[in-house]
Chains A and B, each alone.
Chain A
Amino acid sequence: MTLMSYRQALHDTLRSEMLRDENVFLIGEEIGVFEGSYKITAGLLEEFGEKRVRDTPIAEEGFTGAAIGAAMLGLRPVVEIMTINFSLLAIDQIVNHAAKIYGMFGGQAKVPMVIRTPGGGGQQLGATHSQNIELYYAFVPGLKVVAPSTPADAKALLIAAIRDDDPVIFLENLALYNTKGEVPDHDTPAVIGQAAVTREGHHLTLIGYSRMAHVAKKIADQLADHEGLDIEVIDLRSLRPLDRQTIVESVKKTHAAVILEDDWLTYGIGAEVAASISDGAFDYLDAPVRRVAMAEVPMPYSKSLESAALPSENDVIQAIYQTLDAIGHRRTKTGPHD
């Protein structure tokens, strides 16, 4: 195990996968000479040369399409789209080509491609550069969408994504790049489609992914220390396929759930998770499932408005209290602050 940042874990994994398999190559804007807008690809152009680290024009549709073609012919491209907002320019390539080719060609061609792209607001980048639109891709059969929240998962899921024969959208997060954690030294890939229970508990299930999985864990730890609450935390890790079984098993145990997401509430990932709970654990619910999400506005630029629009820790804690109140938990609880 080595303590490193999420950013470092991504960098090291790209490098080791490029060393392992010469078919792996990187393509995207400013990833070579400039070493990446978020420095994930630092030093790789120098080490692997222009053939394996391709700087491109500002033309997302073009270089995504080029990567799809390369993947169909046997290479394993890792595309960097500078932020998920810019993937909208390539959405036809992703949705109508990358996702469809395997099926439409009857399995004769496949697209073993990874699109790495960070989402996340809170950086005062304005409405068009602060979105969390991974939902658009999680909606599409033919794609896989993973969203690591820790350096260890960043490594294990990136290995799995590069080695997977389907196109994988690999969601990073601006707020997570500098977070640190222990990362295994071995190169074992994660299983795509498997959520992680990052904290066991029996009072309530708190569900998140990417940054909000991080927030969920932090709040659960806080409430355990200060309120004696025993909250189970699930990090979804994969949005498609979604690990409904882990979610359902947890809610069967805790009888209540709160879902966190950084994107808008309406039609969101949280809605899908809530529906999964209703399908699989209806008879085990003792309270309605609650969701905490972003305000339904284009992200404001102003710092105070941006903070107000994003789900806050206080929002999460209030949702937890409301849910526990609804099942009478805090009335019977004898925690230190009750």
Chain B
Amino acid sequence: MIEITMPRLSDTMEEGTIVAWHKKPGDTVSVGEILVDIETDKAMMEYEAYEAGMLAEILVPEGGVVSIGTPIARLDNGQASAPAPSAAPGADETSAAPPVSPARTETAAVLSVAPLESEEDAERRIASPLVRKLAREHSLDLRQVRGSGPGGRIIRADLDDLLAAAEVDGPRGPAMPLASGPLLDAKRGSKEIPFTNVRRVIARRLGESARTIPHFYVTAVADAEQLVQLRTSLNEQLLATGRAKVSLNDLLIRACALALREHPLVNASYVNDASSTMLIHERINVGIAVASTNGLVVPVILDADQKTVSQLGVEARQLATLAGSKGISLDQMSGGTFTISNLGMFGVEEFTAIINPPEGAILAVGTTRREPVGVGDEIVLRHRMRYTLSADHRIIDGALAAEFLQTLTKLIESPLSLIV
């Protein structure tokens, strides 16, 4: 038995409406047959069956609205079957179902994950010739565009926003008010370096973020004395047992994940101006900004709040290594709900970061160093760490940002809570 879930039909889709079922329970379904019409906020799309079998049960009736990943139907593929659904839709399919095998059910559940657009599909989106020409001329990334034409075809009207943005960016526009005189001239001794794909994505996404998201910044400082001591003693034990060391950053990931669990409204996304809702993410997926040879990449640690510090350390290093060698997949860089950018290793005292959309906040972390501070009536040297939260003011207010930082600071200053 295969569970068919609400597919993710575009990058920004969050939920879909079942418009019409083309099959009814008991109908046989072959691969590629149209199963259901699904409407997203912009387009109606026909959704094809990826597996053959018999439609056993429709879980979401026509008109129903459910979020991505919600099961919408069950397909009997003859290999395994789940326990009979609450109301048996018909006698024949129950009798046709082979005996239940729990192991197989588990496999089926894995298969049932909504098929994500493969990288290749994303490269070759259906687009009208006019759209392809405009995309070439304006260096637009069609993977970011949702097609509202028949079958999801990207049509000229879908480029309105991107074209407007491209005009604002204006690197190709004839008039560039910011620059005086030509950019590429002998006086500057300039030469052209072609954009890599990563560079282009950075330019576009962060440009859009800085332009459209009302950022505000809250800075806090933590006494990291205990954190440094904890790391030292942890690493002594880890070394003794032949395991990998943990870094301050690994401890910080853990601290952020726990702080996010306490303040779920920070683990959130603004959808768009037309949306009447914002999104709160139940999973805490922390992105780590990594400087790769190609530019900034942000691999994501899924469910960071469910992992121990040493697990986080192992995973963060694996992802950073992959990112450095360009062997990191799009999948490993998507799904983040919060990002940490740490420039401490460069000795940076403090800085502010630009939010990585569609996330709601990013933490910019400076170096941990010894500073003279007043403790009681004495001035002593203590390890101190500064960090600045950049937050999207459309969904996060100053007080919430301050409370989040307060929690984070408390966790850093009482670090035993990070490892219990």
Contacts and interface: CB of A to CB of B under 8 A. Distances in A.
A87 to B, nearest CB: 39
B207 interface: no
Q: Which of A255, A285, A325, A327 has the most CB of B within 10 A?
A: A327
A284 interface: yes
Contacts of A282: 129
B129 A285 contact: yes
Q: Which of A328, A329, A331 has the most CB of B within 10 A?
A: A328
Interface residues of B, number: 14
B155 interface: yes
Contacts of A331: 148, 157
A275 to B, nearest CB: 14
A287 B153 CA distance: 9
B283 interface: no
B148 A286 contact: no
B156 interface: yes
Interface string A272-292: 000000000011111100000
Interface in A275-333: 282-287, 325-329, 331-332
Given A326-B149, A327-B149, A328-B149, A283 B157 contact: no
Contact of A326 (B129, B132, B150): B150
A331 B153 CA distance: 15
Majority secondary structure, A binding face: helix
A287 B128 contact: yes
B189 to A, nearest CB: 37
A327 B155 CA distance: 6
Interface in B7-54: none
A173 B370 CA distance: 96
Interface residues of A, number: 14
B253 interface: no
Nearest to B151: A326
A283 B130 contact: yes
B133 A328 contact: no
A286 B128 contact: yes
Interface in B156-176: 156-158
A284 B155 contact: no
Contacts of B155: 286-287, 326-328
A284 B149 contact: no
Contacts of B129: 282-286
A285 B129 CA distance: 5
Contacts of B148: 328, 331
Contacts of A328: 148-149, 155-158
Interface in B193-249: none
B72 interface: no
B157 A284 contact: no
A328 B150 CA distance: 9
Contacts of B150: 325-326
B157 A287 contact: no
Contacts of A286: 128-131, 155-156
Contacts of A283: 129-130, 132-133
B39 to A, nearest CB: 14
Nearest to B160: A332
Interface in B135-159: 148-150, 153, 155-158
Contacts of B153: 326
Contacts of B130: 255, 283-286
A299 B30 CA distance: 39
A287 B150 CA distance: 9
A327 B156 contact: yes
Contacts of A285: 128-130
Nearest to A285: B129
B30 to A, nearest CB: 27
A252 to B, nearest CB: 10
B132 A327 contact: no
Nearest to B133: A283
A283 B129 CA distance: 5
Contacts of A284: 129-130, 133
Interface in A36-94: none
Contacts of A287: 128, 149, 155
A321 to B, nearest CB: 12
Nearest to A329: B157
Q: Which of B130, B153, B155, B158 has the most CB of A within 10 A?
A: B130
B370 to A, nearest CB: 62
Nearest to A325: B150
Nearest to A284: B130
Contacts of B133: 283-284
B136 to A, nearest CB: 9
B157 A332 contact: yes
Nearest to A332: B157
A87 B55 CA distance: 59
Contacts of A255: 128, 130, 156
A282 B157 CA distance: 17
A327 to B, nearest CB: 5
A325 B155 CA distance: 10
Contacts of B131: 286
A55 to B, nearest CB: 55
A326 B158 CA distance: 12
A81 B156 CA distance: 49
A326 B126 CA distance: 13
A325 B128 CA distance: 13
A30 B157 CA distance: 58
A294 B350 CA distance: 74
Contacts of A326: 149-150, 153, 155
Interface in A157-205: none
Contacts of B156: 255, 286, 327-328
Contacts of B132: 283
A325 B150 CA distance: 8
Nearest to A255: B130
29 contacts: A255-B130, A255-B156, A282-B129, A283-B129, A283-B130, A283-B132, A283-B133, A284-B129, A284-B130, A284-B133, A285-B128, A285-B130, A286-B130, A286-B131, A286-B155, A287-B128, A287-B149, A326-B149, A326-B153, A326-B155, A327-B128, A327-B149, A327-B155, A327-B157, A328-B156, A328-B157, A328-B158, A329-B157, A332-B157
Q: Sorted from nearest, which 3 A-B pairs have the closest CB atoms?
A: A328-B157, A283-B133, A286-B130
Given A286-B129, A327-B157, 11 more contacts: A283-B133, A284-B130, A286-B131, A286-B155, A286-B156, A326-B153, A327-B149, A327-B155, A327-B156, A328-B148, A331-B157
Interface of B: 128-133, 148-150, 153, 155-158
